[in-house]
Chain A
Amino acid sequence: DGGITQSPKYLFRKEGQNVTLSCEQNLNHDAMYWYRQDPGQGLRLIYYSQIVNDFQKGDIAEGYSVSREKKESFPLTVTSAQKNPTAFYLCASGLSVGHGYTFGSGTRLTVV
């Protein structure tokens, strides 16, 4: 079955460490997205990519980095420069008229 997979589901990080969140899709979607969700804040766009080897900053890109070397994969690195990284991170793909995004199941990152 086609879908979008995020791993791990839960991630703990020590302050000052970089960590990479995985996002893989087998839906043949060109576009992929990373959103961050905090309590009471809704979803905020971090980065997005419309095609392989190209990506754009979203509204809150500072302290994050991405790559898009393959169509299927769009990993997100949370760097030590991100001052408040504890959040729920959602990866999405596609943006079809009428159905919107396909979402992954999310990764909950906690800084300890």
Chain B
Amino acid sequence: GQNIDQPTEMTATEGAIVQINCTYQTSGFNGLFWYQQHAGEAPTFLSYNVLDGLEEKGRFSSFLSRSKGYSYLLLKELQMKDSASYLCAVNSGYSTLTFGKGTMLLVSP
């Protein structure tokens, strides 16, 4: 079966750095995605990793270790608008994505 784990909630302060972890056990692996979702809205794409290493995109970076079944999303210079749910999703080689339950991030002033 497929299993993707993320912390349920995290809190951080404006201007700080936060790391959201994701571990996965899937029957195959063809890429890992991170999405941001504000309450009542659709998820929006943040990052994609298929090879080991760090992908940087502005304030957001994502890391992947396939041997460990582990990824993290790093958010720098946190802003209030970064308060949202962050979803980790894996393409296990089929034509669908399997999602984790999401991590709710609360950024405080």
Contact = CB atoms under 8 A, between A and B. Distances in A.
Nearest to B44: A103
B31 A41 contact: no
A74 interface: no
A50 B95 contact: yes
Given A100-B35, A108-B40, A42 B96 contact: no
A97 B42 contact: no
Contacts of B50: 97
A14 B93 CA distance: 39
Contacts, number: 55
B72 interface: no
Interface centre among A35, A43, A104, by most chain B C-beta atoms within 10 angstroms, is A43
Given A99-B48, A103-B42, 5 more contacts: A45-B98, A58-B96, A101-B45, A103-B43, A106-B41
14 contacts: A35-B99, A42-B87, A43-B43, A43-B89, A50-B95, A95-B91, A95-B95, A98-B48, A99-B48, A100-B35, A100-B91, A101-B97, A104-B42, A106-B42
